[in-house]
Amino acid sequence: MVSTRKKLFTKFQYFQFILPGFIVIGLLISYPLVSNVSMSVSDDGVFSIDNFIRIIENPSFIITLRNTLLWMFSTVVLATTLGFCSAILIEQNFVKHKVFWRSLILLAWITPGIVKAHTWKWLFSYDFGMLNYMLVSIGLIKEPVYWLTSANTAFLAVVIIQVWSEFPYVMLMISAGIQSINTEYYDCARLDGASYFRYIWSIVIPIIRDVVFISILLLTIWSINTFSVIWIVTQGGPYGSTNILSIDIYRKFLMFDLGGASATALLQLSISLIITIIYIRQSRKVETNA
Amino acid sequence: MRKYFNKYHIKNGLAVIVTYFILTVIALFILFPLTWVVSTSIKPTNEVMAIPPQWIPDNPTIENYVNVFTNSSIPRYFVNSFLASSFVALITIVLGGLTGYGLSRRKTKGTRAISTFILASQMLPATVILVPVYLFISKIHLYDTIFGLVFAHLILTLPLVTWMCKGYIDTIPVDLEEAAQIEGCTRLQALLKVIFPIAAPGIAASGMFAFIQSWNEFTIASILTESTKSRTLPVGLTEFALLFKVDWGSTMAASVVISVPVIVIFLFMQKYIVKGIGQGAVKG
Amino acid sequence: MKKIGICFIVLFLMSGVILSGCSPKTATEPLTDVSEPAEAEQEPVTIKWWVPNWDEEVAKVLVSEFEAENPNIKVEMTITTWDTMEGQIRTALHGDNAPDVITDLESRTPAYAEQGLLTNLDPYFEASGIDVEDFVSSAIPLNSYDGSMYGMPMRHDGPAMIYNKDMFEAAGLDPDAFPTTWEELEEVAKALTVDTDGDGVIDQYGLGWPLGNEGNAVVRFYQLTYNFGGSITNAEGTKCELNSDAGKTALEYIYNNLNVDEVTPKSALESDNTGLTNLFINKKIAIYSNGAYDLSVIREGAPDINIGTATYPGLGEGIGVTIVNGFNLYIPEKSNNKDAAWKLVEFVGRAENSGRLTTTFPARKSAFELERYNDPLLAPFIEQMDSGKAGPTYKNWSQMQAEIYNQIQQVLLNNKDITTALNDMCTTVDTLLVSD
């Protein structure tokens, strides 16, 4: 965009737009944030970083950290890919009943969380689960699998559940983004004789880049904050293989170890912030290069 | 009208088949657990945990549905949930839309810092904000009221929707607003008549998003609501679980019942997404 | 634009009011004098009682009787559920919206009392002349802290062995002679593990363990440790003793059941107590242990099963150890109507009323005289209740429990050496005991 232009609004007028929302957010979050920081560094009014040392010294901390990063990475990548693909496919010209397909996918998202987690756990169950039963009867596996009692399959299981419940959101966001693409771009592309995939890659993706960017950001935050799915399905097991930081926070909260919970939460917050800031920086670089 | 994207005709029959095939696979993935929910909802108690599992019960029954309507507070919780989620969605898109617009149209160091703060506010896990939020809501005497819950849920929805709206508005060229001003619109008219219609799909999507976040939220709602006058559905669903015995049939029946009105709202909202584009001033 | 400006000012002012009102408050002084419960309330008062949904029906009846007896007191009930009660109660006790009476899990009481969140009930017990001796003795430690009572025991129970008599008969065993030692139980379980339809796959297992749920699995493990003469920590609660011989025998026992003799199905590794009940109903396991509440669930799910119950096997002479827990009523420290609240607590705690309210067993010995406890299937449950042990109430217990479960899983799933696992377990538990 060119820089010399008449401003639409004055500086102050822009702030009038920004402020109401900003104040409500500030109002709601500042007290929790302040109390969180203060609880993490002092249990009885005296400043100490014991809570942090206690967490980092725990031998399982490294494994939990690794799980957290792996969990974040795999759920975000899979949910984004699946959401993006389904949005692109549904928005094809020849696909009929777009509203039907979209609503069908969104069903996963409106299913209440408790029902979601318990139903999936049930499906994965060895004795009572439909999944083994179906896979055996269509011949994909010979013997039923103990999904939830081996470290790898249990991790896979919770990732599948998380992706199932979150990719509809990406689909919704990207569908809405695609809807706002101006027809001119398409005309240019066709005149240039660009292939369909080239059209997607060089025209659609750059235009909806912001939407994709925000979807990934939000998925990352959700994914790191998730606890109910893992808590209900595996409780972080078997032997800590699906344990992530948010599960630790929840455990500490249940014991009313508010200092420990707050300290872990701040560690988790810094991880999300670091990742987010790197991500924002990188995408701004791409933006200026483009 | 909604052909901007779609005009890229793929005449290749194979592409059509592949597309429908993949969509069907995705649909089956979505439906697999949901079918189990429906199937369980029509099972009598002694068939719920049968080995081997069965899709179609030997003795299908509607007693679970009867139980939900006559013997539970689910209808009342539905009203509570619906009110709370609607208020949350409404307040969120108004405030988030304005803030998002401001942040999108004025990009300085200051506004970037505000954007980052807004995003960061979303990163504290619900578990640790629980107690402070509870104390806060009690202090302003909104404990056990729908409005207290709405206020608390804004923490979850407002930052995200602000960012979503900022993202959608970023995709709309500033030139359009300027053109409208040159044509004699006031600044606000330009905002309402040009930006709003183009951003409508995004705003509708954000509204749906806020609605669902609030609709599904369990942790905060379980702490801030106490009686039937404010309890919401996700919390209410736990009432089918006794200490050592969960009535899965009724739980599933209830989740089917509460999904139906939401699907209807969705269908309506989706029409709006498409319509928003139709009215758009992009191309006459 | 002006409107937005006004909005902003209003919000800004609001923020000042709200934030200034948020500073942490010191605990309010109790309004009534605890040491001297007042005689009768002159002014009509309304008290709030949080009741779990499984007690709702009977509680309504009790409340109407209570209100008839105390016309000055009105009781407002709020229904809690198992999934939400812990978080909701914890937050309420720390905040300003605590009700006057709460029904909660007994084992949570000592920790709340330690944090000063509950009313000391000693003066009330004394004033009302309640004989503490009438309570099942294993209920006392769960309801008290530092020698004072903080909860009114109401419901109290522990699991016993539940088995399928038909399977015993089919295996040529005497259905009325349940094994009395753990070695014998192992042999019986082997005899009960069979391939009933002859397709080469075992489809009926002898003994079920709930190894897929942290809480359930750890209870069974330390219970078995108690049964082999060990304990979780030393008497002072300063040193972990799970790595003793008893702990080792206990974990070996479960390991052998699962991985050597294979009398426990592998799917037990993802099963909780409810899962076992469902396996029992589906005739996949012959023996498991759970509370008396399971009997009605089994009768409903599989009316054709001939159920047997028995006390836990012992070490040679006598019966084994069960782990007891239950529900009680307590009065939060922040309640403003403690005297009226006590009247309700005392009313519900009476033998005949607590007997009606509980779906399992009341915490009062005199209530066992009630007609419904004549059922022979219930006898083993009652027999071992008095000698039952309460679960641990350490402040850091849930963290210890997570580590104990982690090591149990390492052993059962990864074949980690049992001695090493128990030593690792104890290293962590010791650090948690120190910071307790």
Both B126 and B6 in one domain: the answer is no
pLDDT of B233 above 70? yes
Partner residue opposite A27 with nearest CB, options C7, C18, C265: C18
Backbone region of residue C78 per phi and psi (left: phi > 0; alpha: psi in -120 to 50; beta: other values): beta
DSSP A230-256: HHHHTTT-STTTT--HHHHHHHHHHTT
User: What would the mean pLDDT of B23-27 be, rounded to a whole number?
Assistant: 95
What pairing do the DSSP bridges indicate for beta strands C389-390 and C323-330?
Answer: parallel
Q: Which residues of A touch B33 (CB under 8 A)?
A: 108, 111, 116, 119-120, 123, 164
Q: Are B221 and B81 in contact (CB under 8 A)?
A: no
Question: For a pLDDT cut of 70, what percent of chain A falls above it?
Answer: 88
The Cα–Cα gap between B132 and B116 comes to 22
Starting at the edge strand that comes first in sequence, how are the strands of the sheet with C285-290 ordered? C205-207, C285-290, C160-164, C307-310
ipTM: 0.85
The residue whose two tokens read 């709702």 is: C56
Looking at the complex, report in whole angstroms how far the Cα of residue A159 sits from the nearest Cα belonging to chain B: 14
**How many contacts, defined by CB atoms under 8 Å, are there between A and B?**
325
Cα pseudo-dihedral C414, C415, C420, C425, rounded to 10? 50
Q: Which of B34, B61, B88 is the last residue of a domain?
A: B61
Backbone region of residue B243 per phi and psi (left: phi > 0; alpha: psi in -120 to 50; beta: other values): alpha
What is the total residue count of chain C? 436
Both B45 and B77 in one domain: the answer is no
Both B150 and B259 in one domain: the answer is yes
User: What would the mean pLDDT of C354-379 be, rounded to a whole number?
Assistant: 85
Using alpha carbons, select from C336, C281, C354 the residue that is nearest to residue C134.
C354
Tell me the pLDDT band of B28, cut-offs 50, 70 and 90: very high
Q: Which two tokens stand for residue B82?
A: 């619906």
Both B106 and B233 in one domain: the answer is yes
> Among the ranges A19-23, B223-227, B266-270, C180-184, which has the highest mean pLDDT value?
C180-184
User: What would the mean pLDDT of C322-342 be, rounded to a whole number?
Assistant: 93
Q: Which residues of B touch A246 (CB under 8 A)?
A: 125, 127
Q: Where are the domains of chain A?
A: 49-112+167-289
The Cα–Cα gap between A144 and A124 comes to 10
Q: Which range, of A235-249, C24-38, C49-63, averages the lowest pLDDT? A: C24-38
pLDDT of B188 above 80? no
What's the one-letter identity of residue B249?
Answer: G
Q: Which chains touch C (3 or more CB pairs under 8 A)?
A: A, B
User: What would the mean pLDDT of A45-56 be, rounded to a whole number?
Assistant: 81
| Angle at A60 (CA atoms; ends A59, A66), nearest 5 degrees | 125
* Nearest residue on chain B to C294, alpha-carbon basis: B244
The Cα–Cα gap between B27 and A105 comes to 7
**pLDDT at position A114:** 81
Mutation choice for A interface testing from B127, B172, B195, B203 by most A CBs within 10 A = B127
Both B93 and B195 in one domain: the answer is yes
Helix residue spans in chain A (DSSP H): 11-41, 50-57, 61-90, 98-110, 113-124, 130-137, 151-179, 183-192, 196-199, 205-207, 209-225, 228-233, 245-254, 258-289
Residue B68 lies in a domain: no
**pLDDT at position B269:** 74
Q: Which chains touch B (3 or more CB pairs under 8 A)?
A: A, C
pLDDT of C279 above 70? yes
Q: Which two tokens stand for residue B46?
A: 């002694």
Looking at the complex, report in whole angstroms how far the Cα of residue C230 sits from the nearest Cα belonging to chain A: 24
**pLDDT at position C5:** 46
The residue whose two tokens read 């005297």 is: C339
Helix residue spans in C228-327 (DSSP H): 245-255, 273-281, 293-301
Structural domain range at position B17: 1-61
Residue B166 lies in a domain: yes
> Among the ranges A111-115, B196-200, C158-162, which has the highest mean pLDDT value?
C158-162
Both B195 and B114 in one domain: the answer is yes
**How many contacts, defined by CB atoms under 8 Å, are there between A and C?**
92
* Nearest residue on chain B to C8, alpha-carbon basis: B95
User: What would the mean pLDDT of B164-174 be, rounded to a whole number?
Assistant: 82
Is C333 exposed, middle or buried (CB count within 10 Å of its CB: 0-12, 13-18, 19+)?
A: buried
**pLDDT at position C399:** 83
Q: Which two tokens stand for residue A57?
A: 């010294």
User: What would the mean pLDDT of A145-172 be, rounded to a whole number?
Assistant: 92
Q: Does A276 touch chain B (CB under 8 A)?
A: yes
pLDDT of A156 above 90? yes
Both B9 and B122 in one domain: the answer is no
Partner residue opposite C84 with nearest CB, options B45, B227, B235: B235
Both B101 and B186 in one domain: the answer is yes
CATH number at residue B126: 1.10.3720.10
Residue B194 lies in a domain: yes
Mutation choice for B interface testing from C78, C84, C288 by most B CBs within 10 A = C84
User: What would the mean pLDDT of C1-20 be, rounded to a whole number?
Assistant: 42
**pLDDT at position B271:** 67
Q: Does A188 touch chain B (CB under 8 A)?
A: no
Determine whether the interchain pair C294/B244 forms a contact, defined as Cβ–Cβ distance below 8 Å.
yes
User: What would the mean pLDDT of A83-107 be, rounded to a whole number?
Assistant: 87
Looking at the complex, report in whole angstroms how far the Cα of residue A238 sits from the nearest Cα belonging to chain B: 23
* Nearest residue on chain A to C279, alpha-carbon basis: A127
User: What would the mean pLDDT of C177-184 be, rounded to a whole number?
Assistant: 92
Q: Which two tokens stand for residue C114?
A: 């330690």
Q: Which of B37, B61, B85 is the last residue of a domain?
A: B61
**pLDDT at position B3:** 42
What's the one-letter identity of residue A80?
Answer: T
pLDDT of C24 above 50? no
Q: Which two tokens stand for residue C421?
A: 């696992």
Residue B139 lies in a domain: yes
Q: Domains plus CATH for chain C?
A: 40-156+325-390 (3.40.190.10), 160-321+394-434 (3.40.190.10)
pLDDT digits (tens, 9 = 90+) for C302-330: 999 999 999 999 887 778 899 999 999 99
Provide the β-strand partners of residue B3.
Answer: none
SS3 assignment, position B160: helix
C→B contacts (Cβ < 8 Å), by residue, are 4, 18, 21-22, 52-54, 78-79, 81-84, 87-88, 91, 94-97, 273-274, 278-279, 281-282, 284, 291, 293-294, 297, 300-302, 359
Q: Which range, of A184-188, B65-69, C226-230, averages the lowest pLDDT? A: A184-188
Both B139 and B10 in one domain: the answer is no
Report in angstroms the alpha-carbon separations of C80 from A50, A254, B236, C200.
36, 17, 10, 48
Looking at the complex, report in whole angstroms how far the Cα of residue B63 sits from the nearest Cα belonging to chain A: 19
Residue B127 lies in a domain: yes
Q: Are B157 and B92 in contact (CB under 8 A)?
A: yes
Residues 6 or more apart whose CB falls under 8 angstroms from that of A145 comprise A126, A132, A135, A153
pLDDT digits (tens, 9 = 90+) for B87-140: 999 999 999 999 998 888 887 888 888 888 888 888 878 877 888 888 888 888
Q: Does A262 touch chain B (CB under 8 A)?
A: yes
Which is more confident, B211 or C436?
Answer: B211
Residue numbers of B between 239 and 258 with CB closer than 8 Å to C:
239, 241-246
Q: Are C268 and C209 in contact (CB under 8 A)?
A: yes
| Angle at A153 (CA atoms; ends A150, A159), nearest 5 degrees | 135
pLDDT of C201 above 60? yes
**pLDDT at position C30:** 42
Mutation choice for A interface testing from C270, C424, C434 by most A CBs within 10 A = C270
**pLDDT at position A182:** 63
Q: Are C119 and C34 in contact (CB under 8 A)?
A: yes
Q: Which chains touch A (3 or more CB pairs under 8 A)?
A: B, C
Question: For a pLDDT cut of 70, what percent of chain B falls above it?
Answer: 91
Q: Does A140 touch chain B (CB under 8 A)?
A: no
Residue numbers of C between 333 and 392 with CB closer than 8 Å to A:
none
Determine whether the interchain pair C95/B138 forms a contact, defined as Cβ–Cβ distance below 8 Å.
yes
How many distinct structural domains can be found in chain B? Answer: 2
The residue whose two tokens read 């005309």 is: A187
The Cα–Cα gap between C54 and C358 comes to 9
What's the one-letter identity of residue C355?
Answer: G
Both B29 and B118 in one domain: the answer is no
Q: Which range, of A99-103, B164-168, B187-191, C250-254, averages the lowest pLDDT? A: B187-191
pLDDT of C22 above 50? no
Partner residue opposite C398 with nearest CB, options A24, A236, A255: A255
SS3 assignment, position A215: helix
The overall average pLDDT reported for chain C is 86
Question: For a pLDDT cut of 90, what percent of chain A falls above it?
Answer: 26
* pTM of this prediction exceeds 0.90: no
pLDDT of C16 above 50? no
Q: Does B50 touch chain C (CB under 8 A)?
A: yes
What's the one-letter identity of residue C106?
Answer: E
Mutation choice for B interface testing from A18, A71, A256 by most B CBs within 10 A = A18
Tell me the pLDDT band of B259, cut-offs 50, 70 and 90: confident
Backbone region of residue A120 per phi and psi (left: phi > 0; alpha: psi in -120 to 50; beta: other values): alpha
User: What would the mean pLDDT of C229-244 be, rounded to a whole number?
Assistant: 91
Phi and psi of C160, rounded to 5°? -140, 180
Which is more confident, C135 or A30?
Answer: C135
Looking at the complex, report in whole angstroms how far the Cα of residue B235 sits from the nearest Cα belonging to chain C: 8
Q: Are A150 and A242 in contact (CB under 8 A)?
A: no
pLDDT of B275 above 80? no
Both B27 and B128 in one domain: the answer is no
SS3 assignment, position C73: strand
pLDDT of C179 above 50? yes
pLDDT of B283 above 90? no
Both B95 and B134 in one domain: the answer is yes
Using alpha carbons, select from A93, A37, A80, A226 the residue that is nearest to residue A167.
A80
pLDDT digits (tens, 9 = 90+) for A219-267: 998 899 888 889 889 988 788 899 999 998 888 887 777 888 889 988 9
Determine whether the interchain pair B139/C291 forms a contact, defined as Cβ–Cβ distance below 8 Å.
no
Determine whether the interchain pair A13/C15 forms a contact, defined as Cβ–Cβ distance below 8 Å.
no
* Nearest residue on chain A to B266, alpha-carbon basis: A103
Partner residue opposite A176 with nearest CB, options B130, B158, B201: B201
Cα pseudo-dihedral A164, A170, A173, A179, rounded to 10? -100
Determine whether the interchain pair C95/B45 forms a contact, defined as Cβ–Cβ distance below 8 Å.
no
Q: Provide, for chain B, the percentages of residues in helix, strand and coil under a 3-state DSSP scheme, each rounded to the nearest 5.
A: 75, 0, 25
pLDDT digits (tens, 9 = 90+) for C101-142: 999 999 899 989 988 999 999 999 999 999 888 898 889 999
Looking at the complex, report in whole angstroms how far the Cα of residue C388 sits from the nearest Cα belonging to chain A: 25
pLDDT of B5 above 70? no
The residue whose two tokens read 């009686």 is: B227
User: What would the mean pLDDT of A137-148 be, rounded to a whole number?
Assistant: 89
Residues 6 or more apart whose CB falls under 8 angstroms from that of C298 comprise C162, C277, C280, C281, C305, C307
The counts of H helices and E strands in chain C are: 17, 12
Helix residue spans in B42-195 (DSSP H): 45-48, 63-70, 74-105, 109-120, 126-139, 146-170, 174-182, 187-190
* Residue A279: how many other CB atoms lie within 10 Å: 14
* Nearest residue on chain B to A82, alpha-carbon basis: B26
For residue C406, give the DSSP letter: H
Q: Which long-range contacts (CB under 8 A, 24 or more apart) does C165-173 make?
A: C165/C306, C165/C307, C165/C308, C166/C305, C166/C306, C167/C192, C167/C204, C167/C283, C167/C286, C168/C192, C168/C286, C168/C308
pLDDT of B142 above 50? yes
- Domain A49-112+167-289 fold: MetI-like fold (1.10.3720)
Q: Does B77 touch chain C (CB under 8 A)?
A: no
The residue whose two tokens read 């606000």 is: B188
The overall average pLDDT reported for chain B is 83
Residue B67 lies in a domain: no
Determine whether the interchain pair B245/C274 forms a contact, defined as Cβ–Cβ distance below 8 Å.
yes
**pLDDT at position C436:** 58
What's the one-letter identity of residue C371?
Answer: E
pLDDT of A190 above 70? no
A280 CA to centre of own chain: 16
The residue whose two tokens read 């008969």 is: C169
* Per-residue b or e along A136-151, where b marks 16 or more CB atoms closer than 10 Å to that residue's CB: eeeeeeeeebbbbbbb
**pLDDT at position A43:** 67
The Cα–Cα gap between B81 and B211 comes to 10
Q: Does A172 touch chain B (CB under 8 A)?
A: yes
* Residue C268: how many other CB atoms lie within 10 Å: 28
Q: Which of B9, B36, B61 is the last residue of a domain?
A: B61
Q: Which two tokens stand for residue A82?
A: 């699946």
Report in angstroms the alpha-carbon separations of B127 from A254, B217, C418.
9, 12, 36
Determine whether the interchain pair C212/A146 forms a contact, defined as Cβ–Cβ distance below 8 Å.
no
